[in-house]
Amino acid sequence: MSEAGSVLEERRFGGVGVSPGIARGTVFVYRPDEEEPPMRLVQEADLPGEIARFENALIATRQQILAMQQRIAESIGAKDAGIFDAHLLVVEDRTLIDEVLRNLARDKCNVEHVFANVAGRYAKTLSEIDDPYLRERALDIYDVTRRVIHNLLGKERRDLASITVPVILLAHNLTPSDTAQLNRELVLGFGTDIGSKTSHTAIMARSLNIPAVVGLHDGSTQLATGDHILLDGYNGLLIVNPSDQTLWEYGELEIKKGAVEEKLTQLRETESRTIDGRHVILSANIELPQDLDQVFQSGAEGIGLYRTEFFYLNKTELPNEEEQYAAYRKVAESVRPHSVIIRTLDLGGDKFMTALHMPAESNPFLGWRAIRFCLERIDIFKPQLRAILRASAVGNVRIMYPMISGVEELRRANAILEECRAELRAEGVPFDEKMEVGAMIEIPSAALAADILAREVNFFSIGTNDLIQYSIAVDRLNEHIAHLYEPTHPAIIRLIRMTVQAAHAHNLWVGICGEMAGDIVLTPLLLGLGVDELSTGAALVPRVKRAVQALDIAACLELLEEVKGMDSAAAILARCEEVARAHYGELL
Ligand code: PEP
Ligand code: MG
């Protein structure tokens, strides 16, 4: 209700639901890149007032930085909080401040405009010098400049760390590193204008188990912080000022979904076995060691994909071997006797670590990412391999390499792994000599050459997220072509089939760790294709388990035979849906 008592009109924005659930609350619109401050001429007599505003803004900025430094030191550690020392130096920089004061007297315009110009010029000059240290200082100046300008304009700086009350986050875009910082207690859900189902931001939302909707077009410009909304992650809807009728309908939906979820939690201790007795290993994907709790609650048999790069994303320095060992060891000990498959660093694509200054590329998903990066940066790769090997001494650890395109890469990675083993043996450091090594099959060349790769590893894990994007040439992040991103494309089914056949012919087991593994419409097809393991976000594990338990392999093989004779992705999907509906319709 408005103050006058009139009912505010309900408005709906459609998008794509990428993480199920319903959130209700007030919106926090996150706009990290505010526009330039406008210019305004001032009188000579106003100059002392402008100087006082500037001094106050610098003092306020300093206090904010100190408070943030303290918060980070308490939550992450003093080392990470050290980055803010450089920010403090910017607000105390006499040369910068004096130039602002001189230009203020000369130009006689509002101080935020003068400051933005002077600081912008400083930062630009530094960023153009070929020195990583100075380029880093330029980023510090940009960051502090935004903060000072916010203070001058009287706006509270809006960043993700400043969220202190429960909100639904709305942004034009969120990067995977933004998403990794979200506090799941306070962020009830999020929506973005752009994005897609298999972006790492969407994958993180499912891991965090928070409802999310992407592809809201201009939603973030239409709403303001404080608006009351309902976010429907099942159907991809954002509803502003939901009416009483809408709230009632959603209340009913939540009751229904709650009852299904309740039934699913009872499956926790049961086995993921088909009616006719085939055990399909059902494991969970994690991004951070904090995700472990959810893994235990889900009843997953260990971890089929640990995306280690998330450990690197929001760090100001590369994590060293000891830090990584501590994290991997914790995960390995927690899931024992089940296994954890630790994937080596998959940076690049849509995941970047600022501290590494990786060059901007026109086609980052086809560029210097994952194993390609690690094979060149052995200084980064080896500490990770050593940390993983060491963790293998305390648990059931397996390792796998992302983005393998051919056998040469695989052999080089294995040779470096062998060097690490030799070093550890010489140092007398224990590790599991029999630790299994796997390759991700996520590039079509790897699927087509799976029989060659099979000779070099113990298992395959099919990364369908990338396999689909590379096979159909459809950028997994681009919502304009999302309709072409079809997991049931006949070519994808053939590539999976080829991979499974090559693996089994060489006595290797094969899993799927892309998002296809969590889509219960596709479970009958994947079982028909003969995969041995499915690994998905923990929140989806109980549903997949229920699907497996309701199927028999004969029906899955029959479906595969039928599908082999079909020519369109839509027709194959429709047939899969019929089979799924016939076996576990209540889940769909
Ligand atoms: C995949 O590509 O399917 C996969 C599991 O890896 P990621 O989503 O991290 O690229
Ligand atoms: Mg991948």
369, 440, 461, 499: residue to mutate for ligand 1 pocket, most atoms within 8 A of CB: 440
3-state secondary structure 463-475: CHHHHHHHHCCCC
Among 131, 153, 175, the domain-final residue is 153
| 212-214: strand order across its sheet | 11-14, 237-240, 228-232, 22-30, 167-171, 187-192, 212-214, 16-19
Rounded Cα–Cα distance for residues 312 and 306 (Å): 13
E-strand ranges in 154-274 read 167-171, 187-192, 212-214, 228-232, 237-240
Using the mean position of ligand 2's atoms as its centre, give its distance from the Cα of residue 327 in Å: 22
Query: Crossing angle for the helix pair 464-471 and 490-505, nearest 10 degrees?
Result: 130
3-state secondary structure 556-574: HHHHHHHHHCCCCHHHHHH
- In a 3-state reduction of DSSP, which class is residue 308? coil
Each residue of 542-576: b (16+ CB within 10 Å) or e?
bbbbbbbbbbbbebbeebbeebeebeebeebbebb
Q: Calculate mean pLDDT across residues 32-43.
A: 73
Q: What CATH number is associated with residue 213?
A: 3.50.30.10
Q: How confident is the model at residue 2 (pLDDT cuts 50, 70, 90)?
A: very low
Sequence-separated (6 or more) residues with CB below 8 Å from residue 138? 122, 123, 124, 126, 127
What pLDDT shows up at residue 225?
83
What pLDDT shows up at residue 5?
47
Are 427 and 553 found together in one domain?
yes
Q: Calculate mean pLDDT across residues 174-184.
A: 81
303-324 pLDDT tens trace: 999 999 988 887 778 899 999 9
Q: Degrees (nearest 5) of the Cα angle 498, 499, 500?
A: 95
Question: Does residue 338 surpass a pLDDT of 50?
Answer: yes
248 phi and psi angles, rounded to 5 deg: -65, -45
Instruction: Among 68-72, 215-219, 373-377, name the most confident range.
Output: 373-377
303, 342, 400, 466: residue to mutate for ligand 1 pocket, most atoms within 8 A of CB: 466
Known catalytic residue at 374: no
Rounded Cα–Cα distance for residues 189 and 30 (Å): 13
Instruction: Among 100-104, 288-292, 347-351, 526-530, name the most confident range.
Output: 526-530
* Number of domains observed in the structure of the chain: 3
E-strand ranges in 182-280 read 187-192, 212-214, 228-232, 237-240
Are 285 and 390 found together in one domain?
yes
Residue in the structure block whose two tokens are 């388990």: 545
Are 202 and 136 found together in one domain?
no
Using the mean position of ligand 2's atoms as its centre, give its distance from the Cα of residue 512 in Å: 11
Q: Which atom of ligand 1 is nearest to the CA of 198?
A: 8
206 phi and psi angles, rounded to 5 deg: -65, -40
Are 71 and 19 found together in one domain?
no
Which residue's C-alpha comes closest to atom 9 of ligand 1? 307
Among 229, 260, 291, the domain-final residue is 260
Q: Which residue has the higher pLDDT, 385 or 91?
A: 385
Using the mean position of ligand 1's atoms as its centre, give its distance from the Cα of residue 290 in Å: 20
Residue from 150, 172, 200, 489 carrying the catalytic annotation? 200
Are 137 and 245 found together in one domain?
no
Are 357 and 440 found together in one domain?
yes
Whether 409 maps to a domain, the answer reads yes
User: How does DSSP classify residue 41?
Assistant: B
Handedness of CA 24, 26, 31, 32 (dihedral sign): negative
513, 519, 540: residue to mutate for ligand 1 pocket, most atoms within 8 A of CB: 513
Among 219, 236, 260, the domain-final residue is 260
Using the mean position of ligand 1's atoms as its centre, give its distance from the Cα of residue 345 in Å: 12
Q: Which of 50-59, 133-142, 379-388, 565-574 has the lowest mean pLDDT?
A: 133-142
Whether 4 maps to a domain, the answer reads no
User: How does DSSP classify residue 352?
Assistant: -
Using the mean position of ligand 1's atoms as its centre, give its distance from the Cα of residue 124 in Å: 36
Are 346 and 470 found together in one domain?
yes
C-alpha 398, offset from chain centre: 22
Q: How confident is the model at residue 36 (pLDDT cuts 50, 70, 90)?
A: low
Are 443 and 576 found together in one domain?
yes
Question: Does residue 496 surpass a pLDDT of 80?
Answer: yes
Are 392 and 317 found together in one domain?
yes
Question: Does residue 389 surpass a pLDDT of 70?
Answer: yes
What pLDDT shows up at residue 39?
78
Q: Which atom of ligand 1 is nearest to the CA of 465?
A: 3
541-561 pLDDT tens trace: 999 999 999 999 999 999 999
DSSP 369-403: -HHHHHHH-HHHHHHHHHHHHHHTTTSEEEEEESS
Q: Encoding tokens for residue 66? A: 């100190």
Q: Which atom of ligand 1 is nearest to the CA of 285?
A: 5
Whether 39 maps to a domain, the answer reads no
Whether 296 maps to a domain, the answer reads yes
Q: What CATH number is associated with residue 419?
A: 3.20.20.60
Q: What CATH number is associated with residue 74?
A: 1.10.274.10
Residues with CB under 6 A from ligand 1: 305, 307, 346, 442, 463-466, 513-514
Euclidean distance between the first and the last CA atom of the chain, given in angstroms as a whole number: 36
Q: Which residue has the higher pLDDT, 352 or 441?
A: 441
Q: What is the pTM of this model?
A: 0.78
Ligand nearest to the CA of 461: 1
Which residue's C-alpha comes closest to atom 3 of ligand 1? 463
Q: Which residue has the higher pLDDT, 250 or 87?
A: 250
The β-bridge partners of 73 are none
Residue 274, exposed/middle/buried by CB under 10 A (0-12, 13-18, 19+)?
Answer: buried
Show the domain range for 28.
11-32+159-260
What pLDDT shows up at residue 228?
95
Q: How confident is the model at residue 584 (pLDDT cuts 50, 70, 90)?
A: very high
Whether 395 maps to a domain, the answer reads yes
Which residue's C-alpha comes closest to atom 4 of ligand 1? 463
Residue 103, exposed/middle/buried by CB under 10 A (0-12, 13-18, 19+)?
Answer: middle
Whether 38 maps to a domain, the answer reads no
Whether 37 maps to a domain, the answer reads no
Which residue's C-alpha comes closest to atom 1 of ligand 1? 463
Known catalytic residue at 513: yes
Q: How confident is the model at residue 69 (pLDDT cuts 50, 70, 90)?
A: confident
Q: Which atom of ligand 1 is nearest to the CA of 461?
A: 5
What pLDDT shows up at residue 33?
61
Share of the chain above pLDDT 70, in %: 95
Q: How confident is the model at residue 72 (pLDDT cuts 50, 70, 90)?
A: low
Rg of the Cα trace of the chain?
A: 26
Residue 509, exposed/middle/buried by CB under 10 A (0-12, 13-18, 19+)?
Answer: middle
Q: Which residue has the higher pLDDT, 224 or 243?
A: 243
Using the mean position of ligand 2's atoms as its centre, give its distance from the Cα of residue 315 in Å: 22
Using the mean position of ligand 2's atoms as its centre, give its distance from the Cα of residue 563 in Å: 26
Helical (H) or strand (E) element with 48: helix 47-75
465, 476, 492: residue to mutate for ligand 1 pocket, most atoms within 8 A of CB: 465
Query: Crossing angle for the helix pair 541-549 and 569-584, nearest 10 degrees?
Result: 80
Residue from 374, 420, 513, 576 carrying the catalytic annotation? 513
DSSP 84-121: HHHHHHHHT-HHHHHHHHHHHHHH-B-HHHHHHHHHHH
With contact defined as beta carbons under 8 Å apart, do 233 and 189 qualify?
Answer: yes
Ligand nearest to the CA of 518: 1
Are 69 and 193 found together in one domain?
no
418-462 pLDDT tens trace: 999 999 999 999 999 999 999 999 999 999 999 999 999 999 999
Are 330 and 388 found together in one domain?
yes
With contact defined as beta carbons under 8 Å apart, do 572 and 582 qualify?
Answer: no
The pairing of strands 22-30 and 228-232 is: antiparallel
Using the mean position of ligand 1's atoms as its centre, give its distance from the Cα of residue 512 in Å: 10
Q: Which atom of ligand 1 is nearest to the CA of 203?
A: 8
Are 253 and 287 found together in one domain?
no
Whether 5 maps to a domain, the answer reads no
Q: How confident is the model at residue 158 (pLDDT cuts 50, 70, 90)?
A: low
